[in-house]
Amino acid sequence: MVEKLDRLKAILSEVADLKNAQALLVWDQETYMPPGGAAGRGYQVGTLAKIAHEKFTSDEVGQLLDDLEPMTSQLPSDADDACLIKITCRDYRKSKRVPSIWVEEDTRVTSNAYSVWEIAKASSNFAMFQPELEKIVALRRQYADFFKPYAHVYDPLLDNFEPGLKTAEVEQIFNKLRPQQVALIHAIAEKTGPDNSFLKASYPERAQLDFGREVITRFGFDWQRGREDISVHPFTTSFNTGDVRITTRINQNQLETGIFGTMHEAGHGMYEQGIAPALERTPLSGVPSLAIHESQSRLWENLVGRSRPFWMYFYPRLQQLFPGQLGNVSLDAFYRGINRVQPGLIRVEADEATYNLHIMLRLELEIALMEGSLEVKDLPDAWNERMGEFLGLTPPDDARGVLQDVHWSSGHFGYFSTYALGNLVSAQIWEALHADIPDLEKGIIRGDFQPLLTWLREKIHRHGSKFEPQDLIRKVTGTDITPEPYLRYLTTKYSEIYHL
Amino acid sequence: MVEKLDRLKAILSEVADLKNAQALLVWDQETYMPPGGAAGRGYQVGTLAKIAHEKFTSDEVGQLLDDLEPMTSQLPSDADDACLIKITCRDYRKSKRVPSIWVEEDTRVTSNAYSVWEIAKASSNFAMFQPELEKIVALRRQYADFFKPYAHVYDPLLDNFEPGLKTAEVEQIFNKLRPQQVALIHAIAEKTGPDNSFLKASYPERAQLDFGREVITRFGFDWQRGREDISVHPFTTSFNTGDVRITTRINQNQLETGIFGTMHEAGHGMYEQGIAPALERTPLSGVPSLAIHESQSRLWENLVGRSRPFWMYFYPRLQQLFPGQLGNVSLDAFYRGINRVQPGLIRVEADEATYNLHIMLRLELEIALMEGSLEVKDLPDAWNERMGEFLGLTPPDDARGVLQDVHWSSGHFGYFSTYALGNLVSAQIWEALHADIPDLEKGIIRGDFQPLLTWLREKIHRHGSKFEPQDLIRKVTGTDITPEPYLRYLTTKYSEIYHL
């Protein structure tokens, strides 16, 4: 049995190496690759993905898993080896349904589509992107078919980002969330919002970047095991726990873009840096689901980064860096300004009150595309129509509308709802954190984030993807994903700011 | 037959993808990777190398080559397919002798050794690097054994960089070159050298970088299909002809480091950018040998970049960028200054007259290590002793002695002599160029490098590695590798500068 386990681990470590190499190729594509490299990169990523898939879904792996599965009952259920076998069985059976040839084609198509999307977005030209997206949607339908019978055609896609969760469950959570979130926005809309014009002053890029780095260094982001670069769409990627990379973007006339984006990605990055080294080069050296991943980024970005205690510590430093721009803005005015609720066109710049509506819009469109009730060519109109309904806005062009997000060009259908779910989970975790560390805020006021990071490391990060995501959420927060803590958090926060 | 050829090409393109991905991993390691990534990167590079090797040396490839080899006689000898089969047969038979397990271990060892070398060099600590180098030498001996019987234990290593050339031939060429090169250095040493102290003024890094980019843009380096970054040891790498990357390093108080280093790497880079796209993703989409590669970098760096016509065009621009430093230095004084002969400790900073002696020193040491007449622990002493003999200098520390080059840490034994051979070939090509383009210099004075690049593209670049290197050299220059043109070039140049 030990020999079989070793053999399984040897194969899995090669698969991990291939996937990690592929992640570097993608990172490079989004940061430093010259335009001429796109076609070749598509082939390279496609080949690595195909070989990884072939190796992972080989009959030998299947046989080893069949032989090893009974062993798990003799091990503690949270033992690394037991979890490795369980999670690998789950992923194997799933991957086995997907032919290598599909994976290769999909990887090539999406790699190319990403490059096309970049240009299409820059020139706000949806027609240019449309044929690529049509290929991607067709491939996603094919993909869902591999998992027939399903309760809903969208389930197999969602499962790739939030294993175990069903479309019906997400709809149920969102149906509970939506009326209350909309009611809150309406209540806020009746009040005069705080001034936030100071955020649009001119903030030199270098100083913004430096401030962001100072903040996340204080959070505990480890630069010996990570770096930060600039990219069109900020993201986090990891090649092992010793090399976790985040990207950010800086807008000279929009202070919040860089600062909150950097904290967000650092939240992801610190999670990946916190995974136990013992899990390295196994399928457990990742995160259990994207909602949990997002709960970490949102927690650092919003529950910490948009809080009053955080700015009580960091605002003097920010004022020192930008005396001309912020010297006359009080801490209170700054705090209210960064928390102004203002329906906008761009998801990644949305405030906490309206953010989830951007997600619900995307989820509806993805489901409609998958169900076939919406065609790709009609997508811009459908987008703009819902943007009017949900947020009362009309995008002036597709760059600020349907082309704004990278996800569809990368084939990431099923991804978006995890952002909203992540928001909910972040508030659930925040309540659990407060129960364990009553004077959490006092530490933050002193710039001490150590207790917070230590708690997250202990309860969540170190486990990697050992546990099923819904199990981990229950274990950490005591309940399934639920909107109440998030609604409590929003209501308390905005009642104070807006005197509701 | 067509089907078999297609199948061969399909496998070879996957192997190419794996090698190109591996090249990106190495590029990243030397430019942007955080320290914590080293161990994981070693595994990733090792796994890709192993899989590429397994795929390339599979029995299926052997069978396909056996079946296809007779076909080549029916094709023109310079047809792409004929060359593909011939060169692939050569490489297959060679690779087949090397077990995958050796490749994997070697790649892991050298990947780690590179990281150790970086730290060892920074702290000038040979003892730290010694155990790594011992592993590397032991692996090289094992490697040579796979090719028994050989005329010389060093032959199999040399063949990796200069296919077809034997140790005895290199020694013969060097034996012819050395006395004349030493005589020239002695003649120069009797004269007073031109002043070059202005090169040590303070030149802001950004402006140096910009000037280098301006120069190589004028040469014809294509930024749509390439980029330039900073690294400890400058190098060129390519992931396909659409993505060719060079690196450089800038020294604020040593103007020549950045400028000539950049031209050197651009020479390599333009070669890779000039390979016919039709050869992409095959073993022919590379260069036939390192001497030929180096002939291109040396040609642009020295025969162009250290020439009077080049500076007649570019010196006014350089003066404009650095008026304080160079405003009072005449073109003539500048030209003489950059060509001052001055034995130095550092190979990459050596002038054209002494450069080859650095190579001969390294070749002797490599051969001695391989023959077993020298042990790794005695290497620093052996190095320092020869440095005294050859150039009359004693390194003050190992960082400026035995630890200066990256090559050994990467396992590149057999590489160094190609630098000197490249010098010789560059002068052979230069003479052939002049025969075809009599007013080459007139163009350079006007900043017109188009005829030069076009000639190189046509005669050399586009062919990739279709031809055996020694054949290509004969085809382009009319002779085997020979020292006379280089000696003629050096003698003419220095006679004028030093009034010999």
CB pair distance less than 8 Å for A240 and B51: no
CB pair distance less than 8 Å for A40 and B20: yes
Amino acid at B222: D
Cβ-nearest to B34 among A38, A47, A223: A223
- pLDDT at position B279: 97
Check if the beta carbon of residue B342 is closer than 8 Å to that of residue B223. no
- pLDDT at position B447: 97
Flag whether pLDDT at B219 surpasses 90: yes
pLDDT tens digit sequence for B363-403: 999 999 999 999 999 999 999 999 999 899 999 999 999 99
Give the three-class secondary structure for B354. Answer: coil
Share of chain B above pLDDT 90, in %: 94
- pLDDT at position A259: 96
- pLDDT at position B484: 97
> A392 CB near a chain B CB, below 8 Å?
no
CB pair distance less than 8 Å for A43 and B222: no
- pLDDT at position A25: 97
> A406 CB near a chain B CB, below 8 Å?
no
pLDDT tens digit sequence for B40-57: 998 999 999 999 999 999
In angstroms, the Cα distances linking A444 to A439, B150, B396 are 9, 70, 51
Catalytic residue among B118, B265, B294, B468: B265
Q: Is the peptide bond preceding residue A149 cis, with omega within 30 degrees of 0?
A: yes
Mutate to test the interface with B, among A9, A32, A225, A272 (most CBs of B within 10 A): A32
Cβ-nearest to B226 among A21, A34, A41: A34
Place of tokens 């449309």: A130
pLDDT tens digit sequence for B58-96: 999 999 999 999 999 999 999 999 999 999 999 999 999
First-to-last alpha carbon distance for chain A, in angstroms, is 64
pLDDT (tens place) for every residue of chain A, 500 residues total: 899 999 999 999 999 999 999 999 999 999 999 999 998 998 999 999 999 999 999 999 999 999 999 999 999 999 999 999 999 999 999 999 998 889 889 988 998 998 899 999 999 999 999 999 999 999 999 999 999 999 999 999 999 999 999 999 999 999 999 999 999 999 999 999 999 999 999 999 999 999 999 999 999 999 999 999 999 889 999 999 999 999 999 999 999 999 999 999 999 999 999 999 999 999 999 999 999 999 999 999 999 999 999 999 999 999 999 999 999 999 999 999 999 999 999 998 899 999 999 999 999 999 999 999 999 999 999 999 999 988 999 999 999 999 999 999 999 999 999 999 999 999 999 999 999 999 999 999 999 999 999 999 999 999 999 999 999 999 999 999 999 999 999 999 999 999 98
> B206 CB near a chain A CB, below 8 Å?
no
- pLDDT at position A122: 94
CA distance B213 to B226: 12
> A33 CB near a chain B CB, below 8 Å?
yes
- Please state the pTM of the whole predicted model: 0.90
- pLDDT at position A52: 95
Flag whether pLDDT at B111 surpasses 90: no
Closest CA to A30 of A122, A130, A118, A123: A118
CB pair distance less than 8 Å for A32 and B229: yes
> B39 CB near a chain A CB, below 8 Å?
yes
- Compute the count of residue pairs across chains A and B with CB atoms less than 8 Å apart: 123
Residue of chain A whose alpha carbon sits nearest to that of B24: A25
In DSSP terms, which residues pair with A229 in a beta bridge?
Answer: A247
ipTM for the predicted complex comes to: 0.89
Distance (Å) from the alpha carbon of A335 to chain B's nearest alpha carbon: 35
- pLDDT at position A55: 95
In angstroms, the Cα distances linking B378 to B126, B142, B272, B409 are 11, 21, 39, 17
- pLDDT at position B128: 97
Flag whether pLDDT at B158 surpasses 90: yes
CB pair distance less than 8 Å for A243 and B47: no
> A206 CB near a chain B CB, below 8 Å?
no
Flag whether pLDDT at B15 surpasses 90: yes
Q: Active-site residue B496, yes or no?
A: no
Distance (Å) from the alpha carbon of A485 to chain B's nearest alpha carbon: 38
Chain B hits for A230, Cβ within 8 Å: none
Phi, psi of B237 (to 5 degrees): -145, 160
Closest CA to B397 of B376, B383, B377: B383
Cβ-nearest to B34 among A33, A51, A226: A226
Check if the beta carbon of residue B124 is closer than 8 Å to that of residue B398. yes
Chain B hits for A34, Cβ within 8 Å: 223-227, 242-243
Catalytic residue among A132, A265, A294, A468: A265
Check if the beta carbon of residue B364 is closer than 8 Å to that of residue B374. no
Q: pLDDT-based confidence at B284, cuts 50/70/90?
A: very high
Q: What is the 3-state secondary structure (H, E, C) of A192-246?
A: CCCCCHHHHCCCCHHHHHHHHHHHHHHHCCCHHHEEEEECCCCCEEEEECCEEEE
CB pair distance less than 8 Å for A43 and B226: no
Flag whether pLDDT at B107 surpasses 90: no
Angle at A268 between CA A266 and CA A273, to 5 degrees: 85
